[in-house]
A and B are shown apart, each in its own frame.
Chain A
Amino acid sequence: MTVLTTAAVSRRSRHGRVFLGMLAWLAGIVFFLPVAWMFLTSLHSEADAAANPPTVAASLGLDGYRAFFGSGGGTSPWPALINSTTVAVTSTTWVLLLALPAAYALSVRPVRGWRDTLFFFLSTKMLPVVAGLLPVYLFARNTGLLDNVWLMAVLHTSMNLPIAVWMTQSFLADVPVSILEAARVDGARLPVILARILVPVIAPGITATALICCILSWNELLLAQVLTSVTAQTAPVFLTGFITGEGLFLAQLCAASVVVSLPVLAAGLAAQDKLVQGLSLGAVK
């Protein structure tokens, strides 16, 4: 009798498992559908893209991408893409140069009040962008720094620095002290300890930090919208040109969204495992 019940229960739970697995697949497909549709539409002709009802099996081509890259005489997106790359790479480099020593001082050889300092960094992240937007704009206007990629790089550095300090601090805190102590006892000097022991251990964490900072810089719109116009325009600002789209432009819009999102997708999937840790400021592992 007991055996029977167990078998019944296990059969029921097996049905349940299959059902829940299918439910998970269904949810995945529902969430992914808009992205898949965007990709498919980017390969359609403009006429097929605007068809109602939609034409799933329409012929595929790269016309949308050609139109996006400016063959139709529109503005070329290359300057914006190059600006975004410059700002993302430069600001991330500066972020790491500033964050790594700070994180070292906050975890490996913690200074007094390290926790207060850490939380101070975090609190600046919670300060809304609009809190300082106007003074920054006036400063840039009066010093001739409006529409300048380097100003954007400085601002994105300050935007990402708190996250980077928190992330690198949490990675450094995971390094066992005993390794460092042992190396010190063996007579290794500080630069050697840093280069040979610390850096290899935290390298994956630093890579993830860099990728997340690049993503956040690449995505940023409000600062770029206010502070850049033509020469320093970033990719999200370029995309805002599609907000009031008239006529046939869906395939081009989808091609643009795919191209601009591709670096973020690649970086995000590469940093997948550390994504939560970074975005929850190291509070969740």
Chain B
Amino acid sequence: MTAPATASAAARTGNPPRGAARRRRKRGPGAWAVRAPLLPALVFVIAVTQLPFVATLVLSLFDWNAFHPGGRRFIGLDNYAAVLGDTAVREAVVTTMVLTASVVATALVLGLALALLLNRRFPGRALVRTMLITPFLLVPVAAALLWKHLLLNPEYGLLNGALTWAARLVGDGIAPQPDWISAAPLIAVGTALVWQWTPFMMLIVLAGLRSRPPDSVEAARMDGASEAQVFRYLTLPHLRPYLELGALLGSVHIVQNFDAVFTITSGSLGTANLPYTVYQIFYQAHEYGQASAAGVLVVLGSLVIAAVALRVVSSLLRGEASRG
């Protein structure tokens, strides 16, 4: 489909690897012997990921509700019209974009700040680094449950508990006890996601900082450049591809996020994103045709991000090849 096509477009810009030119002339039975180790993985991936997508494409052209057996008939693009006309789906598109953009941007800025802090020597640096990546290493459902019940619950959550504690410290102990998830559902989901994804961004930026040639920074400092100038004119341009990569990989994951939405709000209060909505159309409404059409639309949306992501990965790899 389109995904492989974009991929090869991005790939064609790459350089051939060592020895590829030499072997390119090789033809005949030997070529298949070289190719054989690749085939099992290739066949497996095509069978398990591409064939179901083709099936989804076909299903999206049929009117098929599991509650009305025997009513399966070809209706062309009507499902797409129905899905695009569905306000729930249109709201899900907006929710997905808002959630993804805000979470990725916040996590990226925080991750950059934390990486800059961690990139200097101070006592206990290794321990702080470990503490910072721990949120990323919780099972996503567990992390979402932690926010939903342990931190944000209005009666016994830590946040309201801390408010009561602070109120007792300064006076009568009467503290406001807001219901955080009902008051700001999307922000609650987004905060939990930012908490989990900031460490990921931090790790990518840290890798970028470590690959920075130290001499140029030294030279700039010798010439009297201020820290701000070093950051603005040396560090940031060097980090740009890493920030792009972090943003895109984060987007790919957060566009597809299901766990946090499912756990924290169960898609209520205007937090249903596209994967959750598709899950709902399919799993609860059993509208198989419409679920497929919505799934295809999600793929089209992801492709835009994926095409850019693949190009960034490709350019980073090329940069590395020319350095080494």
Contact = CB atoms under 8 A, between A and B. Distances in A.
B37 interface: yes
Contacts of A104: 37
Contact of A126 (B125, B137, B305): B305
B193 interface: no
B174 interface: no
A250 B149 contact: yes
Interface string A210-227: 000001001101100110
A187 B298 CA distance: 54
A264 B134 CA distance: 10
A218 B113 CA distance: 30
Which of the four size classes fits the interface of chain A?
35 or more
B156 interface: yes
Nearest to A249: B149
Contact of B200 (A132, A254, A279): A279
Contacts of B40: 98, 101-102
Interface string B176-210: 00000000000000000001001110011011100
A111 B31 CA distance: 8
Interface string A125-151: 011111111111111000000000000
Contact of B138 (A41, A165, A264, A285): A264
Contact of B50 (A114, A124, A245): A124
A20 interface: yes
B145 A253 contact: yes
- Interface SS of chain B: helix
Contacts of B130: 269, 272
B150 A129 contact: no
A78 interface: no
Contact of A135 (B55, B140, B207): B55
A193 B199 CA distance: 39
A128 B299 contact: yes
B260 to A, nearest CB: 10
A125 to B, nearest CB: 8
A260 B139 contact: yes
B141 A52 contact: no
Nearest to B155: A52
A122 B314 CA distance: 11
Given A29-B131, A130-B278, A285 B207 contact: yes
Most buried by A among B37, B130, B274, B279: B37
A31 B200 CA distance: 13
A20 B122 contact: yes
A250 B151 CA distance: 11
Contact of A261 (B45, B137, B155, B288): B137
Nearest to A222: B258
Nearest to A177: B18
A124 B3 contact: yes
A219 B139 contact: yes
B275 A128 contact: yes
Contacts of A254: 146, 150
A124 to B, nearest CB: 5
Nearest to B192: A34
A132 B298 CA distance: 11
Nearest to B48: A158
B70 interface: no
Interface in A85-144: 98-99, 101-102, 104-107, 109-112, 114-124, 126-139
A64 interface: no
A154 interface: yes
B134 A35 contact: yes
Given A264-B138, A284-B208, A130 B44 contact: no
Contact of A32 (B18, B118, B134): B134
Contacts of A32: 131-132, 134-135
A236 interface: yes
A49 interface: yes
Interface of B: 3-4, 6-8, 10-12, 14, 16-20, 23-24, 31, 34-38, 40-42, 44-45, 48-53, 55-56, 59, 113-114, 117-118, 120, 122-125, 127-142, 145-151, 155-156, 158, 160-162, 164-165, 168, 195, 198-200, 203-204, 206-208, 211, 242, 245, 249, 252, 255-256, 258-259, 262-263, 266, 274-275, 278-279, 282-283, 288, 291-292, 294-296, 298-299, 302-303, 305-306, 309-310, 312-314, 316-317, 320
22 contacts: A21-B120, A24-B118, A27-B128, A28-B128, A31-B131, A34-B147, A34-B150, A52-B164, A54-B158, A109-B23, A114-B17, A120-B8, A123-B4, A124-B3, A126-B252, A127-B3, A222-B259, A235-B139, A239-B141, A261-B138, A265-B137, A283-B312
